[in-house]
Amino acid sequence: MKKRALNRRDVLKLAAIAGAGTLASHPAAAGANEIKSSKKAVSKKRPLHIAIVGGGMAGTALAYRLSRAITYPVITMYEPGENSCWYQPGLTMIGTGIWSVADVSYLRDDYLPMHVTLNRNAVTKIDGSTRTVTDSGGNKTKYDHIIVATGLQLDFAAIRGLEGSVASLQPLEKVADWMNDPAVASVYYLHGAIRLPRQVEALVQKARKSGGRAKLQVRFAQPSIAFKSPAAAKSVLLRLTQALESAGVVDRAEIVFSSEDGRLSANDDYDRSYRKLLEKEGVVFKKEKLLRVDTEKRKAVFSVSGETAYDFLHIVPPMKAGAFLAKSGLLSKDGFVDVDDETLEHKVHAHIFAIGDVAGCAALKTAAAISSQIQTVTETIRRLDEGKKPKATYDGYGCDTLLCPENTTALYEAWDYGSRPLSPVISLAPLKCHAMYWYSSLYADKAYLMRGVLRGWA
């Protein structure tokens, strides 16, 4: 681990040796010495003007890193949301009844780095040719480097019958009718995650009262695989089947999992493992797209199955980048910022980078990818500032956790551009559930991200 900050793999290795509780108490200290190896440039150049569009976990962590690595940084962060620094992986914990909202709530201003200027306006345009940012206040500002870290929007409205604008972690000013429907669920936004435990319990009670006369119809639907936190819906599925089994009514429900592109993971090894998992749980898997939802009749229309009645419908929504990025000409045909997989720099417009979920690289869209990404971008900008050729490359590492029965967790979706399943501990298989991973998810991971990564130490 010499000359680089700790990443999640390092944290889990240390957790196995020293215990996750120690790491949870001192995550910043674990990487404190490493930051010294990233020395500031010694040149007497003019101030380097940097714009960070988005003040979530990725943007905030990058701001800390850059403020330490650059000699004369002038950093402006564009972020209108007050709750932008919430712990997003915690949505799965809320949705499965393990955590409360208080466990994931963090305010932007509590994490804003010193000497970083906050612009509370939203960005309306980025001009790659002139390196300028235009905000909703009508201000146009020129920068040397621009980093897009806006995350993705949940496009529920792409499914007919599900209107309303939804952000993952922002409290909703207006709740659409379907968002309070007891039979429609989604762990991918805060209001939905809060309601999920009650919805699962209601389904179990309904199965008990049914007497087995007719099987309850339980449907899970997800879009094409390029979406964030791919293990979240599978965690909800396992928690639901566990609740039905504990109540002795699992045979009273027919569960179908539908995927638009027929994939359960972008990685072949994990895809095969997910399929075996679904088969073991008695879940039917189908390649089809969710087209429409009629909440009044409790019927959903799929591209293959057609109109289907449901008693419980969990939806992974389509996800997209902000509209201003499309208008700025920065997106690829897949709808994400068109960056190089290794440098994270835009393929057309130099000095524009993207990190986090909005980046159109082949890596997994999870919080665990952020640490490596911000190290790559920081080192690249630092060397450019020194007049040197950049050397840092992103290895594509990402990781997502699958919550398994009996308080165990699998480190699912842990892989890099080598596309091989990864395990931080040699003796633990990466495709199986372990209590150590559960302990890490419950205690060490949040401390590592919120005290280490978010502060720019890891």
Q: What is the DSSP string of 316-368?
A: ---EE--HHHHHTT-B-TTSSB-B-TTT-BBSSSTTEEE-GGGB-SSS--SGG
Return the higher-pLDDT residue of 421 and 161.
Answer: 161
Considering the entire predicted model, what is its pTM? 0.87
- Tell me the two tokens of residue 163: 């209107």
pLDDT at 391 over 60: yes
Confidence label for 273 from pLDDT (cuts 50, 70 and 90) = confident
252 and 379 assigned to the same domain: no
* Claim to verify: residue 75 and residue 59 sit in the same structural domain: yes
Q: Are 225 and 307 contained in the same domain?
A: yes
Strands 153-154 and 319-320, by their bridges, are: antiparallel
Examine the fold and report which residue of 292, 319, 346 is the final residue of a domain before the chain moves on.
319
Helix (H) or strand (E) holding 378: helix 370-385
Specify the range with the lowest mean pLDDT, choosing from 8-12, 107-111, 167-171: 8-12
In the block, tokens 């976990």 appear at: 57
pLDDT at 26: 31
pLDDT above 80: residue 416: no
User: Which amino acid type is present at position 334?
Assistant: D
The Cα–Cα gap between 311 and 156 comes to 19
Domain of 388, in residue numbers: 8-152+321-396+444-453
Q: Mark which of 257, 291, 319 sits at the end of a domain.
A: 319
160: CATH: 3.50.50.60
Cα 260 to Cα 222: distance, rounded to the nearest angstrom: 6
Q: Residue 116 — very low, low, confident or very high, per pLDDT cuts 50/70/90?
A: very high
Query: What average pLDDT does the chain have?
Result: 86
Q: State the average pLDDT over residues 314-326.
A: 95
Both 161 and 134 in one domain: the answer is no
- How would DSSP label each residue in 129-154? TTTEEEETTS-EEE-SEEEE----EE
Which of 25-34, 80-89, 249-258, 372-381 is the least confident region? 25-34
Q: With 50 as the cut, is the pLDDT of residue 434 above it?
A: yes
Q: What is the mean pLDDT of residues 202-220?
A: 93
Give the model confidence (pLDDT) of 148-201 as tens digits.
Answer: 999 999 999 999 999 876 777 666 777 889 999 999 999 999 999 999 999 999
Tens digits of residue pLDDT in 327-338: 999 999 999 999
pLDDT score of 33: 30
Residues whose CB is less than 8 angstroms from the CB of residue 308 and which lie 6 or more positions away in sequence, other chains included: 217, 219, 299, 300, 301, 302
